[in-house]
Amino acid sequence: MNYKTKTWLLAALSVIFICLFLFTDITGNWEYILERRTYKVAAIILTGVSIALATVVFQTITQNRILTPSILGLDSLYMLINTFIIFVFGSTTLTSTDKNIQFIVIVAIMILFSGLLYKLLFKRNEQNIYFLLLIGFIIGTFFDSFSSFMQVLIDPNEFQIVQDRMFASFNNINTDVLLLATVLIILTLLLFLRFFKYLDVLALGRDHAINLGVDFDYVVKRLLVIVAILISISTALVGPITFLGLLVSNLAYEFLKTYRHFYLLLGASLISVVALVGGQLVVERIFTFSTTLSVIINFIGGVYFIYLLLKENRSW
Amino acid sequence: MKKRYLLLVLIILSLISLFIGVSDISVMDIFHLTDKQWQILVVSRIPRLISIIVSGASLSIAGLIMQSLSRNKFVSPTTAGTMDFARLGILVAMIVFAGAGSLSKMFVAFVFALAGTFLFMKILERIKFKDAIFIPLVGLMLGNIVSSIATFFAYQNDLIQNISSWLIGDFSIILKGNYELIFISVPLLFIAYLYANKFTIAGMGEDFSKGLGLNYRQVVNLGLIIVALITSSVVLTVGVIPFLGLIIPNVVSIYRGDHLKNSLAPTAILGAIFVLFCDILGRVIIYPYEIPINLTVGVIGSAIFIYLLLRRQAQ
């Protein structure tokens, strides 16, 4: 089976899962249920695809399969913003203000933050991208310190609302925000299309890419901005799923065994959709909501990461 | 910075620490304390001071040992996931052995911390790309993953706010009777001092130290056991204090060099001074309330860490 057949297989699998999710177990008003479920599936596809794309692109730029853009500190920033709002204004503000405005403000702050981070480091002519990541990570820890401090002071009832934000959830997707996020993601993807063709060359490494005539620094900076936008939008839409990207990108490399980015990106996105829809099916219909999908995904992703690090015959 | 100046600063800060707080006790009262003042000193202030000094000194030493053994300046209990493993251990102890006393919690935390540190060292051997910056990145990610595993179990048992509240480093919860576990670190510091030369040699690499007749494995294992014991006892009594084991040894090595025997004592004293300073700061800023040590050390520590990184990069 070559990678093309495998990609078709993944596509078929995701369609089957989506149909299972949409059309089984309908009791009562099927029109209403179907509508709610369609929104859910749309949100899943949107976040799944953007996280998968962002991670694969990021790993190609860094030439490293065990890194993920989710550790740039954006997750921690998202939690800090939410905790801060609840801490200062109380949870009622969060529920009463317009969801669209909230979404835009959060996305704007996150993109602004990553822009500042990039600016700071690229101004120093920094070649080492690990340096960027480490700084982002430390700033993330810094944000975490603040959030956990506020979380401890918050009244337990209010904390429940913070906790809901801590874990990504597809259950209460606001339809207006969903539309907005879709538009933003599509715009970002259009921008991404311009740089897509460079990815196969970038994977060869900085020296080869420059030798083949790619303006490496220019392309990489643009791609990093796209990665930050994708992660910001998906996090602001559903919440943080830190290790989803790591899980699906590595599964895609293992399964497809190709270096062509068209198939890698497609494969990773499809695996992401399969994992999220399948996971949501399990959580909703089998565990009946006793746990959160993102917690499970982070758990599995984490265990898989440790396995990757320790796997025989491989060094990083 | 001479050692005696450091000691002087430590003593002054200790006195300040003893005499600030909501209940008024001034230095002048020291010879005619009322019963109540005496009680506050014995039950709260002195235990607090002791636990600050012990945890500051021992976590810094733990970081120093790790850096020496792994030959990487950016490895520490925070950046190798040891703290997160200890936290996971405490959580597991809470869930599995519900009525466990602090000693058995300590034991489980220790086992987890030790296993985690060994895992990290194993991963270090696997990493072919020994970039000094890449290694702490892997360690931090490992730590994050371990805490997401902890979150998984905490979420199942509705313990999220619990673990985030009392495993966040905070000295205000220290009272006579609940902090004594931290004394485990004291004999460990002496052992570390006795073995300092051996750790330095082990830091030069396996082949080299074997050539000098050192039992490499044994020394490394001893070092990691000390680190795991210190980390788990501090996490259990005080909570997580980020970056401490990373910044203090680095600051000391800037002016003291890398010979462990020379840098152990200044590292311990400076660690204690730093934590004391941060603690006093946290008690003064929003007086009469307190900012937990986790936040003050986290903020100041991450700033210093970034400074150290930029400094290294500039060279």
Read out DSSP for B61-102? HHHHHHHHHHT-TT--TTTTSHHHHHHHHHHHHHHHSTT--H
pLDDT in tens, B92-128: 888 887 776 778 888 888 999 999 998 888 888 777 6
What is this model's ipTM?
Answer: 0.78
Question: Peptide bond preceding B242: is omega within 30 degrees of 0, i.e. cis?
Answer: no
Dihedral of CA atoms B127, B128, B130, B135 in degrees, nearest 10, equals -20
Delineate the domains of chain A, giving CATH numbers in brackets. Answer: 3-315 (1.10.3470.10)
User: Contacts of residue B148 in chain A, CB cutoff 8 Å?
Assistant: 242-243, 295, 298-299, 301-302
pLDDT tens-digit map of B28-75: 666 677 777 788 888 888 899 999 999 999 999 999 999 988 888 888
Using the beta-carbon criterion (under 8 Å), do A145 and B294 form an inter-chain contact?
yes
Question: What pLDDT shows up at residue A312?
Answer: 55
* Selection from B284, B302, B273, B290 nearest residue B55 by Cα: B273
Which residue, A90, A71, A82, A76, is CA-closest to A106?
A: A82
Yes or no, beta carbons of A167 and B155 under 8 Å apart: yes
Is the pTM here over 0.80, yes or no?
Answer: yes
Contact B78, B242 (CB under 8 A): yes
- Check: CB of residue B204 under 8 Å from CB of residue B68: no
**Domain extents in chain B:** 3-314
A169 touches B at CB < 8 Å: no
Do residues A256 and A7 make contact, with C-beta atoms less than 8 angstroms apart? yes
- Residue B126: list chain A partners with CB under 8 A: 309-310, 314-316
Instruction: Specify whether domain B3-314 bears CATH 3.30.70.270.
Output: no
A301 contact residues in B (CB cutoff 8 A):
145, 148
Distance of alpha carbon A4 from alpha carbon A11, whole angstroms:
11
What pLDDT does residue A289 have?
A: 60
As a whole number of angstroms, the distance between CA A170 and CA A239 comes to 9
Q: Which residues of B touch A166 (CB under 8 A)?
A: 160
> According to the model, what pLDDT value does residue B132 have?
74
Count of pairs with CB atoms under 8 A, one residue in A, one in B: 125
Task: Please tell me the distance in Å from A282's CA to the nearest CA on chain B.
Answer: 16
Picking from A55, A74, A134 by the largest number of B CB atoms within 10 A of its own CB, the best residue to mutate is A134
Task: Pull the structure tokens for residue B168.
Answer: 């966040």
Q: Return the closest-CA partner of residue A276 out of A246, A256, A297.
A: A297
Show which of residues 45-84 on chain A sit within 8 Å of chain B, judged by CB atoms.
66-67, 71
CA pair distance B6, B301, nearest whole angstrom: 19
Measure the CA dihedral B17/B18/B19/B20, to 10°: 40
What values do phi and psi take at B11, rounded to 5?
Answer: -65, -45
> Alpha carbon of B135 to those of A205, A245, B127, B128: distances in Å?
20, 21, 8, 10
Q: Which residues of B touch A134 (CB under 8 A)?
A: 133, 136-137, 140, 309
Q: What is the CA radius of gyration of chain A?
A: 20
Distances (CA, A) of A206 to A198, A211, A213, A221: 12, 9, 11, 13
Residue B216 Cα distances to A238, B201, B222, B229, angstroms: 50, 9, 10, 20
Q: Find, in chain B, the residue whose alpha carbon is nearest to that of A128.
A: B133
Closest Cβ–Cβ partner in A134, A156, A291 for B137? A134
Q: Nearest CA to CA, how far is A180 from chain B (Å)?
A: 30
What residues in B contact A155, CB-CB < 8 Å? none
Q: CA B108, CA B115: separation in Å to the nearest integer?
A: 11
Q: Which two tokens stand for residue B261?
A: 């025997």
- Which one-letter DSSP state was computed for residue B133? T
**d(CA B8, nearest CA chain A) in Å:** 31
pLDDT (0 to 100) of residue B27: 66
Which pLDDT value is given to residue B152?
79
Locate A129 and state its tokens. 């991208």
**A305 part of contact set with chain B, CB < 8 Å:** yes
Q: Do A298 and B151 touch (CB under 8 A)?
A: yes
Say if CB A308 and CB A281 are below 8 A apart: no
Q: Measured between alpha carbons, how far is residue B71 from residues B20, B68, B229 in Å?
A: 41, 5, 21
Separation between Cα atoms, residue B219 and residue B225, nearest integer Å: 10
CA gap A155, B160 in Å, rounded: 14
| Pairwise CB contact (< 8 Å): A71 & B140 | yes
Burial of B305 (0-12, 13-18, 19+ CB in 10 A): buried
Q: Do B142 and A298 touch (CB under 8 A)?
A: no
Chain B residues with CB-CB distance to A under 8 A? 119, 122-123, 126-129, 131, 133-134, 136-138, 140-142, 144-146, 148-149, 151-152, 155-156, 160-161, 164-165, 168, 242-243, 291-292, 294-295, 298-299, 302, 305-306, 309, 313
How far apart, in whole angstroms, are the C-alpha atoms of residue B201 and residue B208?
A: 8
Are B226 and B290 in contact by the 8 Å Cβ rule? The answer is: no
Compute the C-alpha angle B220/B222/B226, nearest 5°: 115
| pLDDT digit string (tens) for chain B, length 315 residues | 577 888 898 988 888 888 877 776 766 666 677 777 788 888 888 899 999 999 999 999 999 999 988 888 888 888 888 988 998 888 888 888 777 677 888 888 899 999 999 888 888 877 766 677 788 888 888 888 888 888 878 877 777 766 766 677 788 778 887 788 888 889 999 898 888 888 888 888 888 888 888 888 889 899 999 999 999 889 888 888 888 988 999 888 888 877 778 888 899 999 999 999 999 988 888 777 788 888 888 888 888 888 888 887 776
Residues of B in contact with A302 (CB under 8 A): 145-146, 148-149
CB atoms within 10 A of CB B21: 18
Q: Do B141 and A296 touch (CB under 8 A)?
A: no
* Mean pLDDT of successive 10-residue stretches along chain A, which has 316 residues: 88 91 81 86 92 93 82 86 85 76 89 86 68 84 82 78 77 81 93 91 88 88 91 88 87 88 93 91 75 80 80 56
